[in-house]
Structure 1
Amino acid sequence: MRAKRFTLVDVFSTEAFRGNPVAVVHDAGGMSDQDMLGLARWTNLSETCFLLPADDPAADYRLRIFSTLREMPFAGHPTLGACHAWLAAGGAPRGEVVVQSCSVGLVQVRAGQSRLAFRAPPLLRAGPVEEPLLASILTAFGLHRDEVRHARWVDNGAGWLALMLDDRARLLGLAPDLSGLHGVPIGLCAPWPGGDASFEVRAFIGGDAVPEDPATGSLNAGLARWLLAEGMAPPSFVIAQGTAIGRAGRIHVHSDGTEVWIGGACVTRVEGQLLL
């Protein structure tokens, strides 16, 4: 039996158990793809991730990320949670920022006084959502076409598409039937005038163990690039997520004019050994 260091990190909230948990396996060498997918299905979290030695001379470490359905090329809250766990275990970056290698390439993560932030990767797919797919989504969510202000692809490696609604209360009241949208990552957002965040977001993946994600870095990174490019958000703003399911995710977005950074709190909740 092999023992590996194991960390469970709460990401995107300072309130205990109200962010998005991610499992991190340290020194995951020797684990097969099936081992990793099997563990991800066993933890039953939105993602489980695995720290490995860097496979790129520019990186500090390599990260593999698995949902209960498949390996993910990129995901935001695992990126922050894994970086937090790596630093807490004694990891030291060679430069001013941590450089993570994953399937979408190199991702920079920088540490501030109260949160970590990753540089949002570029969109791999943008533009309008195809009408047949949009029609299926509207049916699943019980929405009318005139309730959707925009429908856009915001895919940065995780496959996300996004719908923007005008009404936050309508967004929070949605109870979708995702049975016909297996594996399709769908984000919905609405402005929140007068709230402690500029936008409210919900995220769904049909067929996943966690059909509604509590706080989603990759989706919000894609949304941020879109909102900023279209002039629908200021250079710095906050996104709320998880409200509808009793969470309190807060995702901090900052654009320095060149890059977009997606940040949030990371708090270790469980440390121990994983026995294989």
Structure 2
Amino acid sequence: MKTYRFKQVDAFTPRPLYGNPVGVVLDADDLTDEQMQQIANWTNLSETTFVLKPTIAGPAYRLRIFTPVHELPFAGHPTIGSCHAVLEANVVAPKDGRLVQECGAGNLPLRIEASTGSERAENRRIWVEAPEAKLIGEQPELSSTLSEVLGCRIAESPAPTAFRNGPTWLFVRFETESEVAALKPDMSALAKLSPTVTGVAAFAFVNGGEFVVHIRCFAPVAGVPEDPVTGSANAALPAYLVHHGLLEKTGREYIATQGTELGRDGRVCVRVLDTDGFGYDGIRALRRVRPEDEDDYGSRVRPARLHRQRADDRGGARGDPRRDPRVPPIPKAPRREGQPGRALHHEDRSARDRRLVDRPGRSGSGLRARLRAVDAGRREDIPSPLSVARRGARRPHRQGPERRALRQDRERSRAPRHHRPRRHLRT
């Protein structure tokens, strides 16, 4: 079976295990749309990308972006994380620190900057020239409903406004940063609120400090209740600020913070290139999984048999290919002497049966008898837990002569008359 190189990259963060992770599958030209969607669903990340050969001259590579539910034309952190992955894997090489990526939103220029005096990958900063954010419209009629759904009253002005730069984001402003941090939205109501938008981007201006904007993005319709760090929403926010005359509050270059409520501590650098709010966004990206030249399961993907991969030697159960290979193996449960097929102690089975007694629709008479036997210490009378769970009450292991005679009479009465054997009287 063919394998594919796979990387997991943390974008919008200078530290590993923070920011927003993206799964990147390299050299994925022969994967079908169904297989790509299956892999994106398996990784269970907000986005998974697939690097392919470009279809036209000019771009260095082509990128397809999938959520667990559907495909996106553009997303910020998958674009930056995928660029970091292809550079680290030596799939492409930048020319004068620049690349062009082909995706569903068009050809996007990327610029790679290295920190002064350092060429290490973890000090690399990647900028993407995001697609132009187009105004969809203001929706003031949703102000009261959004306040109720998000759990906090939104600012009176400006009105909730939707912009599209691939995904469609409905921007909502709050007065203070603490209000944004305290939001606890009703996800089911938020998903039904407006099916025409990808999600809601709630933000507030920050007074003083390193950050100028604190933003949170909720997209339950796309299968992502809250995105840790969202590049597309941060890239479209300047267009919202220009539309409502608020760009002077941030300036033409600023840093936004996102994901602190989820423990991700993401940082997005934004540069506004023109008066329409068209700009770059970007930050460092860090690889989290081990290199492909190491022989481990975490660096490769088998799309046709994802559910059948073994993880016994990686500390996981069979069929769980996502377990970290560095996790030590799970010790096997001890087995009872003389019964090699069973691995549970009597005390463990007793606790299990106590839970089964409380299940609705089950009499539990046999289970209670079993518990009494355990409490009395008569282990030889304890039946198998499977037989107890299936029948509710166990049969005796041995039948007396009277019970055996009744059973034989029932068998004779069920047989056809001409097949019934002659019954002999007992003396």
Q: TM-score range by the shorter chain?
A: over 0.9
Q: Which residue of 2 aligns with 1:124?
A: 134
1:92 equivalent in alignment to 2:93:
yes
Q: Is the 8 A contact 1:19 1:247 kept in 2?
A: yes
Change (3 A) 1:136 1:67: farther
What is the CA distance between 1:148 and its match in structure 2? 5.9
Q: Which residue of 2 aligns with 1:254?
A: 271
Q: Is the 8 A contact 2:255 2:269 kept in 1?
A: yes
Change (3 A) 1:116 1:58: same
Structure 1: distance between partners of 2:34 and 2:190: 25
What is the CA distance between 1:247 and its match in structure 2? 1.3
Amino acid at match of 2:21: P
Q: Which residue of 2 aligns with 1:8?
A: 8
Q: Is the 8 A contact 1:128 1:151 kept in 2?
A: yes
1:266 equivalent in alignment to 2:290:
no
Q: Which residue of 2 aligns with 1:215?
A: 229
Amino acid at match of 2:59: A
What is the CA distance between 1:173 and its match in structure 2? 0.3
Choose the corresponding residue for 2:260, options 235, 243, 255.
243
Higher RCO structure (Cα 8 Å, ≥6 apart): 1
Q: Is the 8 A contact 2:97 2:112 kept in 1?
A: no
Q: Is the 8 A contact 1:9 1:269 kept in 2?
A: yes
Q: Give the 5 Å matches for 1:196-211.
A: 196-211=210-225
Deviations 1:30-85 (A, max 9, x none): 11111111111111111000000001212111100001121001000000001111
Superposition TM-score, scaled by structure 2 size: 0.61
Structure 1: distance between partners of 2:236 and 2:261: 21
Unpaired segments ≥5 residues, structure 2: 115-123, 291-298, 304-427
Report the structure, 1 or 2, having the larger strand content.
Answer: 1
Q: Give the 5 Å matches for 1:221-240.
A: 221-228=235-242, 230=245, 231=247, 232-240=249-257
1:36 equivalent in alignment to 2:36:
yes
Change (3 A) 1:265 1:95: closer
Amino acid at match of 1:55: T
Q: Which residue of 1 aligns with 2:110?
A: 109
What is the CA distance between 1:146 and its match in structure 2? 4.7
Deviations 1:105-136 (A, max 9, x none): 111110011410100210133431362x5554
Q: Is the 8 A contact 2:154 2:172 kept in 1?
A: no
Amino acid at match of 2:301: L
Structure 1: distance between partners of 2:127 and 2:258: 17
Report the structure, 1 or 2, having the larger helix content.
Answer: 2
Change (3 A) 1:4 1:224: same
Amino acid at match of 2:61: Y
Between the two proteins, the alignment pairs up a number of residues equal to 275
What is the CA distance between 1:207 and its match in structure 2? 4.3
What's the % identity of the aligned pairs?
Answer: 36
Structure 2: distance between partners of 1:193 and 1:127: 28
Structure 2: distance between partners of 1:175 and 1:153: 21
What is the CA distance between 1:235 and its match in structure 2? 1.2
Q: Is the 8 A contact 1:241 1:250 kept in 2?
A: yes
Superposition TM-score, scaled by structure 1 size: 0.92
Structure 1: distance between partners of 2:149 and 2:98: 42
Larger Rg: 2
Q: Is the 8 A contact 1:22 1:46 kept in 2?
A: yes
What is the CA distance between 1:227 and its match in structure 2? 2.3
Give the alignment's Cα RMSD to 1 decimal.
2.0
1:144 equivalent in alignment to 2:153:
yes
Change (3 A) 1:138 1:56: farther
What is the CA distance between 1:255 and its match in structure 2? 2.6
